[in-house]
Structure 1
Amino acid sequence: MNDLLNALLHAIVYALVSGLILIVAYYVLDLVTPGHLGSHLHGTDDSGKASVHLQSRSAALVAAAWMVSNALVLFTAIWTNGATDLGWALAWTVSFGILGVALNAAMLFAIDAVTPGNLRQIVCEPGPVRPLAYLASATALSVAAIVCASIA
């Protein structure tokens, strides 16, 4: 019974810490994209009026890939270290979670630098998914794969 309670406590702590890191990841993406990311996703103008024509499907794709990427890093850190004492395993999870967010931001800037136009601006434009959004999404998932491999 003690093992079950201990495992439940670990699950709660990991869920809360991972949730906080994912919230930070969203806000970092919001900071590195022009405008307010929530407005691009929801499709609101400066006055707050919503319109489906203002929604950016590209921003939604990039944000979704960004969140999955960071969640994969957190999952891998927990999966590989979760059976150990909560202290060091939690430190690994936080450290690699923050590293994943930082590397995703750095790679978004790097891809923006080597592609024509302003990638960060283009992926926030309203309308259908732009080809550069696929590249930005694939880059985020690639960063996750690399960080996950380094954890394992």
Structure 2
Amino acid sequence: MLASIGYAVAYTGVGIVLLTLGFLVLDLLTPGRLGRHIHEERSVNAGLVLATGFLGQGAVVFAAIWTNATNGFGEALLYTVVFGVLGVVLQAVAFVVLDVITPGKLGAHVTEVAFHPASLVLAAVQLSVAAIIIASIWP
């Protein structure tokens, strides 16, 4: 049981680091401070996009752990880090691609206080990218 507690702590620590990395990358892709847009300006758009980014990233981390746990702790942890970082990078790439192919500036739309449908589109893109990564992990 102590080993399982240790694994849970290690995986959770890696997961928190990956979620933080995802937040920081999304913060770089949007104008201003993402936390301020959510907490002070109460931007539902920014909250929705960040929440779906977290859900997608969490699902990628879950899939990496779940599918590799029988390979041993070290290998499963490595898979979790590699696919977690890949998830952050590919979600950022999808953000940039969506920004290029749609009118306006996606980052500005996502941080608006008034609802903007672009936030739903970006949320769907983030979850779709996560699903694709999960499908590549699952045997």
Identity rate of aligned residues, in percent? 42
Equivalent of 1:57, from 15, 40, 44?
44
Equivalent position of 1:85 in the other structure: 72
Equivalent of 1:134, from 106, 120, 131?
120
1 or 2, which has the higher helix percentage? 2
Between the aligned partners of 2:122 and 2:20, the Cα distance in structure 1 is 19
Unaligned runs of 5+ in 2: none
Equivalent of 1:23, from 20, 32, 37?
20
Higher relative contact order (CA 8 A, sep 6+): 2
After alignment, is 140-149 or 78-87 more displaced?
Answer: 78-87
Offset of residue 93 of structure 1? 0.3
TM-score (normalised: structure 2): 0.96
Offset of residue 84 of structure 1? 2.6
After alignment, is 104-113 or 82-91 more displaced?
Answer: 82-91
Equivalent of 1:67, from 54, 71, 79?
54
Offset of residue 119 of structure 1? 1.1
Unaligned runs of 5+ in 1: 44-53
Amino acid at match of 1:61: L
Offset of residue 66 of structure 1? 0.6
Q: CA RMSD in A?
A: 0.9
Instruction: Deviation per CA, 1:108-150: give whole Å up to 9, x if none.
Output: 00001111111111110112x2111000000000000000000
Greater CA radius of gyration, 1 or 2?
1
TM-score (normalised: structure 1): 0.88
Number of equivalent positions: 138
